[in-house]
Chains A and B, each alone.
Chain A
Amino acid sequence: MLEVLKQKFGSAILDHHQNYGDETVVVDRASILEVMKFLKQNAACPFNLFLDLGGVDYPNRNPRFELVYHLYSLPRNRRIRIKTALPESDLKIRSVISVWESADWFEREAFDMFGIHFEGHPNLKRLLMWEGFQGHPLRKDYPIDKRQPIPVMADLV
Chain B
Amino acid sequence: MDFKRFFGDTILTTKIESVVNWGRKYSLWPMPYGTACCAIEFMGTVSSQFDVSRFGAEVVRFSPRQSDLLLVMGTINYKQAPALKKIYEQMCEPKWVVAVGACAASGGFYNNYSVLQGIDEIIPVDVYVPGCPPRPEQILDAVMKIQAKIDYHA
Contacts and interface: CB of A to CB of B under 8 A. Distances in A.
Contacts of A137: 112-114
Interface in A108-157: 128-130, 137, 142, 144-148, 150-153
Contacts of B112: 137, 144
A146 B121 contact: no
B90 to A, nearest CB: 11
A66 to B, nearest CB: 21
Given A144-B112, A145-B111, A148-B113, A153 B86 contact: yes
B113 A146 contact: yes
B23 interface: no
B83 A129 contact: no
B114 A129 contact: yes
Interface residues of B, number: 15
B82 A153 contact: yes
A148 B78 contact: yes
Given A144-B112, A145-B111, A150 B83 contact: no
A152 B79 CA distance: 9
B122 interface: yes
Contacts of A148: 78, 113
B145 interface: no
Contacts of B113: 137, 142, 144, 146-148
Contacts of B117: 147
Contacts of B83: 153
A150 B116 contact: yes
A150 B82 contact: yes
Nearest to A151: B82
B119 to A, nearest CB: 11
Given A130-B78, A137-B113, A137-B114, 20 more contacts: A129-B114, A137-B112, A144-B113, A145-B111, A147-B113, A147-B117, A148-B113, A150-B78, A150-B81, A150-B82, A150-B116, A150-B121, A150-B122, A151-B78, A151-B79, A151-B81, A151-B82, A152-B82, A153-B83, A153-B86
23 contacts: A128-B79, A128-B114, A129-B79, A129-B114, A130-B78, A137-B112, A137-B114, A144-B111, A144-B113, A145-B111, A146-B113, A147-B113, A148-B78, A148-B113, A150-B78, A150-B81, A150-B82, A150-B116, A150-B121, A151-B78, A151-B79, A151-B82, A153-B86
What are the 10 A-B residue pairs with the smallest beta carbon separation, nearest first? A153-B82, A137-B113, A150-B81, A130-B79, A153-B86, A150-B78, A151-B82, A152-B82, A153-B83, A146-B113
Interface of B: 78-79, 81-83, 85-86, 111-114, 116-117, 121-122
